[in-house]
Structure 1
Amino acid sequence: MKRMFSSPQLQAVASSLAHNDPLRAVVHTMRKRPDNVLGLLLRPLSREEIAIMEGRGCRADDWSLIQVAEDFDPFRVRRTHLVGHCVLGRFRDDCEVRPGITLPSGIYDSTLIDAQVGNNCLLENVRFCARTVVDHGAVVFDVGSLIAGEKVHFGSQQTLAVGPETGGRPLPVWPGLDVAAAAAIATQLADYEGQKAIVEAHQRYVEDVTCSSCWVGRGAIIRHTTRIADAMIGPGCIIDQATDLADVAICCSQDEPTHINAAAVTQSLLGPGVTVAGGAIVRHSVLVEHCSVDLNAVVEHSVIGCNTSIAKGEVTASIVGPFVGLHHQSLLIGAIWPQGKGNIAYGAMVGSNHTGRAPDQEIWPGEGTFFGLGCNIKLPSDFSQSPYLMIGSGVATLAQRVCYPFSLIATPIQALSEEAEVPRAYNELIPAWGLYANAYAIVRAEEKYRLRDRSGRGHIPFQVLRPEIIALVRDARSRLMIAPISGDQAPDLGTIYQEQAIAGVGKNFLREKQRRLGVEAYGTVLQRYALRVLLAAAEGHEQLPGSVDLAHELADELLPGLSLEQRLSALLEIERENVEIVKRAKIADDRRGVAIIPGYADCHPSVEDDRVVRAAYDRLARTRERVQAQGYSELAPGIADLPIGQQKRPE
């Protein structure tokens, strides 16, 4: 018997489906006055104008069906065949075909069938333009065909298969669908009422946007393209040498243009600021906004979030959140990854189907997951409870669930004894490794997200330490602390744990030494978060509802009996220690580089000039100023003797 529940999230998505949708607005405009979509002041051609046009190689099956704008210039239409009802605007200005290259507006060497062309457009060498509206100022230059079928849906009629490639997580799509809504629809399958509302709202939307015309938006530029069919091309869009563009909606604007360059996009929906270039192929997908697919990459049956860059690799049946980097030849299949902010290195194979049967498995990476060079990730896998997990180079993981944030999964360096009874295929899990050995990467990630964000719609939090991640850290620490102890004696540092002993380890093993370091590092980051929130509360603002209560609870648990002055002084000590951890990572990299690469120091910034190290120092300085603004000293009485922030690197 299936478990049923009802969530307001899907109902909210259904009620706001395609709200303020540019595609719907375009279709309604075309339906409102189909014979004069652009609202021009029209008149029939005079005999003199017909004679001028025929003298310049133009012909029409029926000149009486041709309407033109007031002040129409017949000299701007040459060697053109007009079929059916066509509307021609006023052509006076020049059009910029490429930066620095302008040509007179008008229609030259083209065939138009039931087409409407706005003012100051340029159509040249368009061999076939049928049932298309070209808005004012658009350029269509050297295009094979620009046509619409009898029923055009602009790619919105589809239901994608995400996660398992065989289906099971159906995802209806529409312009404006974002990653959060896509993830909710794909994962909240037990909300039958919500799913029904989504399907019904999607069906109504498809009926509402179905028409029989293409649309080229104001100021759009289309050059050297073979075929365009059933397309809505938004204002300012630039298309150059596209090999195929069919059944698509490109919902961009002149302020946030979308670029398609030497690529193929079919049955897809593209938002503002998207780039598809370099031989890339996009099919049955949604590119939300300000993301890119380049260098022969392939994206199929996927939703790609903002600020994500995909090049050379393949993404199939996936929901990929913001700030994911897939810049090399690699593979991502069946991923439900709405939090994004991760990286897929060269040769990573995230999507190996371990069953050898139907491709019906999936993976749920967590926020910030880093898949290292050449790793091989078997499905199914769930890393959603392990944000900022790093999987080392060449690691092959088994199907599993891991629940330890900021951890490292690596090939064991030290040999295990036979008595440990650890399967040979298991890797080593190092909990909290990213906190005490790779804090540089965390500071760099926050800076990177802040500097590279180009989205203008959904809010993307740049901070790594947020309540939802802190909750996972707290849970992980509690599981590490209940490791079995024989009698009153602490386990030996060489003790080995597996999933049966400590939950969340997955198909890996954990050493006692790393367990202790993990407990300490998790405790310090919990202190750091709690004290940050308490400082903000002392300044008079609560970061999130309930965050102050959680901060007091953590502070009472980890730093009991301290005054607010002592707690804020402890925060400064933790921030100072974090700066040292970040510096150590940079110094270690420099020391290794200098020993190996001639002239290494000449092409790398020193630790004092490193942007990430400076960012850590800046946070410390800001925290010091904020604490002093509350009237507290930097080192409160009694704080020096407390075990705060004393994180150590593993020996």
Structure 2
Amino acid sequence: MNKRPLRSIGYNFIASPYLPAGRDEYHLRNFQNRNGILYRNLSAYEIEVLVRNRNTSDDWNKIQVSDAFNPELVKNCKFFGLVRIGKLESIALEYHNIVLPVGLYDSTIISCDFGDNVVVNNVNYISHYIVGNEVMIANVNELHATDHSKFGNGIIKEGETEDVRIWLEVCNENGGRKILPFNGMQPGDAYLWSKYRNDEALMERFKEFTERKFDKQRGYYGKIGDNCVIKNTAIIKDVWVGPHAYIKGANKLKNLTINSSAEAPSQIGEGCELVNGIVGFGCRIFYGVKAVRFFMASHSQLKYGARLINSYLGNNSTISCCEVLNSLIFPSHEQHHNNSFLIAATVMGQSNIAAGATLGSNHNSRAADGEMVTARGFWPGLCVSLKHNSKFASFTLVAKGDYPAELNIPLPFSLISNDVTNNRLVVMPAYWFMYNYYALARNSAKYVDRDKRTKKIQHIEYDYLAPDSVNETFDALRLLQKTVARAAGKKGDETVLINEGEALLNGTDVDFKNTAVYADGFEGSSRLVQIVKVREAYFIYKELIVYYGIEQVVSFVNRHSISSFEEMLQALPSSPQRFAFLNVGGQLLPERSVQTLLEQIKRDEIKSWNEVHRFYQQNGKAYAEQKLQHAFASLLEILKIGKMEFTPERFASLLKQALQTKRWMVDQIYDSRAKDYNSEFRRMVYDDEAEMAKVVGTLEDNVFINQQREELRLFSETVQEIAERFQLVTPAF
């Protein structure tokens, strides 16, 4: 504890070694305050009224006010340093049934600026803040900013040492992929920074980008934007609060940026403690949340005691009750229930972590947890326990179980099961399409509806059939062909096995129901890994690729109003290639484009994070054409034809096949949902059909199923219209 002269309170905010020549301690404050209010000194009468109302000041000449200032609305306040006050009118502000009179009451105010018609009521200590117009601040113990405020950004100020810099240690526990948080950081930024760790020049450039975004000068004030409400909160220190934010009952907020706007207000509720982080636009944080060294992208939520530590949480995500540490999470992540645990992971979006999940917990390690990498659509079921390191392809469902060793699952759309009785791992490829297509399709659709971002810098892919999952499907086809060939006793190199397996899968010589197919490299153990439903999955995979290709071609035809088959063929890519795509923060980017970006960054052709974000936006605009080329190349590859063999007759046949696939998909959606209505155990809690219909609704009234039927109808009309427009000779659709 230091002793200081009483007259020092409110002055010398910027220590002399850090004060630029010719500037006073208010130069940054004056730059930050853009409310346009013209302040003046108090009149003798106003000072008299203020004194009569039991206010004190170390120097009344340091109190400045606007011409519409009413001294009768300032009572029982202690002022220190330069304080500037805007218009005060005899009105009240109301928010959520709390009504308070405009004015400054029962507060200690040190070197602050206030806009028009603010409420500052029972604030024990407010220091070095710029407060906007029509702000309500009531019952706050401590609200202040220091001269070295960084507001959650991973920077250091003049005179500070490197050890005070805040890093986010994402992806693993050893800090090997740590990144610097900064306001405006996109999920793609976090991924690129965490991924390419062996490129030291790139890492240094990312750090430079972050440093350039912010001023190293000391002396920036905290800000509270227009129309904010802050009440019943204990400590707010070094926090920048955007307009229209609502903070109520928080325990401690320290070193934060809270982005908020009229279109996307953010809220922080009771019992929350947030330290060293960035809160995006439209976020909601309620009921005992603890977050330390974190980044919450826009429209994400933390609720009911959730813990988020050393992690990046992507847009439109929700974590409720659970604990998440050292993780990089892409947009549209759901995690609920009190004992869900996620640590040291890169989760690439559209994920859902069920109750009891324990994903990484030092069970098989002699050091800090390693890493887990999950592609889009990762769904571990109830009470799943997984070990590091593990890796999963797109849309993997992991059934309940304690998985004893590391997993590497390259087959998309699979169900993974731990067969304890037979001591083996069981993988069912294409599970979703055979048994639970309703859930897969509904989740793909709901993420589109839940994307509330007001600034869509990154184009997020939500469709389960996209370049990433289709590329995995091609790899899966080759893997199935090889494993089937080996199961049949075939020998030879990879090409021979692929050809032999393809012949076996397309033929009738093998009874797959009575033939066990085993895979290598799926689990870090010596036990067997069995692939089931191999033939069914093989044909579903192929059918999905054809559907994906034709769907994109049909979309292309409509998008460009193409009038004939010849015009379409000429407009389609002349030499389409099925390029590799990377999931960069939820946005699918051609791998070659990402490599170009990284090289341009290192050559100083791209000089800032803003320019990186422009790259995302440019690729987002080009994505439809990128996806078309990929889809058309995939179609030709699965059919084993060249572009010139893509004839009108073949196109007509493929249109019909795609329509049949779409009908099958809609039927599967209906049938998989119908199980919930036909099961005796689902129905037994209802006395009759009427009660069941009231509680869960009827199958025929299911909104999503009806939407899918409407999509089928529109797709059918589109296909038939194209066939007629192109004058295709085809059987009836």
In structure 2, which of residues 92, 95, 101 is the aligned counterpart of residue 104 of structure 1?
101
In the alignment, structure 1 segments of 5+ residues that lack a partner are: 1-27, 417-423, 641-651
8 Å CA contact 1:537–1:548 kept in 2: the answer is no
Cα distance in 1, alignment partners of residues 29 and 109 from structure 2? 22
In structure 2, which of residues 409, 413, 417 is the aligned counterpart of residue 402 of structure 1?
409
Asked if 1:539 is matched to 2:537, the reply is no
Cα distance in 1, alignment partners of residues 518 and 172 from structure 2? 29
Cα distance in 1, alignment partners of residues 216 and 41 from structure 2? 32
Count matched residues: 599
Give the aligned residue type for 1:486: G
* Range with bigger deviation, 618-627 or 205-214: 205-214
Per the TM alignment, residue 537 of structure 1 is displaced from its structure 2 partner at its CA by 3.7
The within-5 A match list for 1:418-457 is 424=423, 426-457=424-455
> Counterpart of 2:255?
247
* Range with bigger deviation, 147-156 or 227-236: 147-156
The within-5 A match list for 1:349-360 is 349-360=358-369
The structure-2 alpha-carbon separation of the partners of 1:606 and 1:209, relative to structure 1 and needing over 3 Å to count, comes to farther
Asked if 1:597 is matched to 2:616, the reply is no
Give the aligned residue type for 1:455: R
In structure 1, which of residues 176, 193, 206 is the aligned counterpart of residue 184 of structure 2?
176
* Range with bigger deviation, 272-281 or 346-355: 346-355
8 Å CA contact 1:436–1:581 kept in 2: the answer is yes
8 Å CA contact 1:401–1:505 kept in 2: the answer is yes
Asked if 1:295 is matched to 2:382, the reply is no
In structure 2, which of residues 632, 646, 650 is the aligned counterpart of residue 563 of structure 1?
650
Cα distance in 2, alignment partners of residues 580 and 506 from structure 1? 38
Cα distance in 2, alignment partners of residues 505 and 186 from structure 1? 26
The structure-2 alpha-carbon separation of the partners of 1:517 and 1:91, relative to structure 1 and needing over 3 Å to count, comes to same
> Counterpart of 1:471?
471
Task: Provide Cα deviations, 1:473-517, integer angstroms capped at 9, x if missing partner.
Answer: 1111121012222368536534444443xx657768554652212
8 Å CA contact 2:546–2:635 kept in 1: the answer is no
8 Å CA contact 2:145–2:221 kept in 1: the answer is yes
Query: % of aligned pairs identical?
Result: 24
Per the TM alignment, residue 318 of structure 1 is displaced from its structure 2 partner at its CA by 0.7
Asked if 1:272 is matched to 2:281, the reply is yes
8 Å CA contact 1:494–1:511 kept in 2: the answer is no
Cα distance in 2, alignment partners of residues 188 and 587 from structure 1? 46
The structure-2 alpha-carbon separation of the partners of 1:551 and 1:632, relative to structure 1 and needing over 3 Å to count, comes to farther
The structure-2 alpha-carbon separation of the partners of 1:525 and 1:95, relative to structure 1 and needing over 3 Å to count, comes to farther
> Counterpart of 2:370?
361
Task: Provide Cα deviations, 1:295-344, integer angstroms capped at 9, x if missing partner.
Answer: 0111111111111111100011111112211121210111112x311111
8 Å CA contact 2:428–2:532 kept in 1: the answer is no
Give the aligned residue type for 2:87: R
In structure 2, which of residues 290, 298, 322 is the aligned counterpart of residue 281 of structure 1?
290
The within-5 A match list for 1:154-553 is 154-157=151-154, 158-208=166-216, 210-262=218-270, 263-329=272-338, 330-337=340-347, 339-383=348-392, 386-396=393-403, 398-412=405-419, 416=422, 424=423, 426-458=424-456, 459-483=459-483, 484=486, 485-486=488-489, 490=510, 493-500=513-520, 509-511=528-530, 513-539=532-558, 541=560, 543-545=624-626, 546-547=629-630, 549-553=632-636
The within-5 A match list for 1:46-61 is 46-61=43-58
Give the aligned residue type for 1:265: L
8 Å CA contact 1:403–1:505 kept in 2: the answer is no
Per the TM alignment, residue 207 of structure 1 is displaced from its structure 2 partner at its CA by 3.7
> Counterpart of 1:607?
699
Task: Provide Cα deviations, 1:556-597, integer angstroms capped at 9, x if missing partner.
Answer: 339998521111111111111112212221222211145533
Cα distance in 1, alignment partners of residues 406 and 43 from structure 2? 75
8 Å CA contact 1:171–1:186 kept in 2: the answer is yes
> Counterpart of 1:624?
716
8 Å CA contact 1:530–1:555 kept in 2: the answer is no
Give the aligned residue type for 1:279: G
Cα distance in 2, alignment partners of residues 95 and 574 from structure 1? 63
8 Å CA contact 1:248–1:269 kept in 2: the answer is yes
The structure-2 alpha-carbon separation of the partners of 1:83 and 1:35, relative to structure 1 and needing over 3 Å to count, comes to farther
The structure-2 alpha-carbon separation of the partners of 1:64 and 1:352, relative to structure 1 and needing over 3 Å to count, comes to same
Per the TM alignment, residue 639 of structure 1 is displaced from its structure 2 partner at its CA by 9.2
The structure-2 alpha-carbon separation of the partners of 1:231 and 1:223, relative to structure 1 and needing over 3 Å to count, comes to same
* Range with bigger deviation, 169-178 or 396-405: 396-405
Asked if 1:575 is matched to 2:582, the reply is no
Task: Provide Cα deviations, 1:14-53, integer angstroms capped at 9, x if missing partner.
Answer: xxxxxxxxxxxxxx99716269664421221112111111
TM-score normalised by L of structure 1: 0.86
Per the TM alignment, residue 152 of structure 1 is displaced from its structure 2 partner at its CA by 0.8
Asked if 1:129 is matched to 2:138, the reply is no
* Range with bigger deviation, 87-96 or 173-182: 87-96
* Range with bigger deviation, 199-208 or 347-356: 199-208
Cα distance in 1, alignment partners of residues 404 and 686 from structure 2? 36
Cα distance in 1, alignment partners of residues 532 and 324 from structure 2? 38
Name the SS for the 1:335 alignment partner: strand
TM-score normalised by L of structure 2: 0.77
Cα distance in 2, alignment partners of residues 231 and 139 from structure 1? 16
The structure-2 alpha-carbon separation of the partners of 1:196 and 1:36, relative to structure 1 and needing over 3 Å to count, comes to closer
The structure-2 alpha-carbon separation of the partners of 1:118 and 1:160, relative to structure 1 and needing over 3 Å to count, comes to same
Q: Which structure dedicates a bigger proportion of its chain to helix?
A: 2
Cα distance in 1, alignment partners of residues 32 and 398 from structure 2? 60
Cα distance in 2, alignment partners of residues 564 and 37 from structure 1? 62
Task: Provide Cα deviations, 1:106-132, integer angstroms capped at 9, x if missing partner.
Answer: 101111111111111110101111111
The structure-2 alpha-carbon separation of the partners of 1:549 and 1:117, relative to structure 1 and needing over 3 Å to count, comes to same
8 Å CA contact 2:426–2:532 kept in 1: the answer is no
Task: Provide Cα deviations, 1:75-118, integer angstroms capped at 9, x if missing partner.
Answer: 11111111111111110163434234433211011111111111
Per the TM alignment, residue 549 of structure 1 is displaced from its structure 2 partner at its CA by 3.4
* Range with bigger deviation, 348-357 or 296-305: 348-357
Task: Provide Cα deviations, 1:144-173, integer angstroms capped at 9, x if missing partner.
Answer: 011112311111122111122121001011
The structure-2 alpha-carbon separation of the partners of 1:626 and 1:396, relative to structure 1 and needing over 3 Å to count, comes to same
The structure-2 alpha-carbon separation of the partners of 1:204 and 1:93, relative to structure 1 and needing over 3 Å to count, comes to farther
Name the SS for the 2:419 alignment partner: coil
Cα distance in 1, alignment partners of residues 364 and 654 from structure 2? 52
RMSD: 2.7
Task: Provide Cα deviations, 1:437-488, integer angstroms capped at 9, x if missing partner.
Answer: 2111122112211222211223323322112211111111121012222368
Cα distance in 2, alignment partners of residues 239 and 594 from structure 1? 43
Per the TM alignment, residue 222 of structure 1 is displaced from its structure 2 partner at its CA by 0.5
Name the SS for the 2:210 alignment partner: helix
> Counterpart of 1:648?
none
Per the TM alignment, residue 74 of structure 1 is displaced from its structure 2 partner at its CA by 0.8
Give the aligned residue type for 1:43: R
Give the aligned residue type for 1:544: E
The structure-2 alpha-carbon separation of the partners of 1:161 and 1:637, relative to structure 1 and needing over 3 Å to count, comes to same
Name the SS for the 1:446 alignment partner: helix
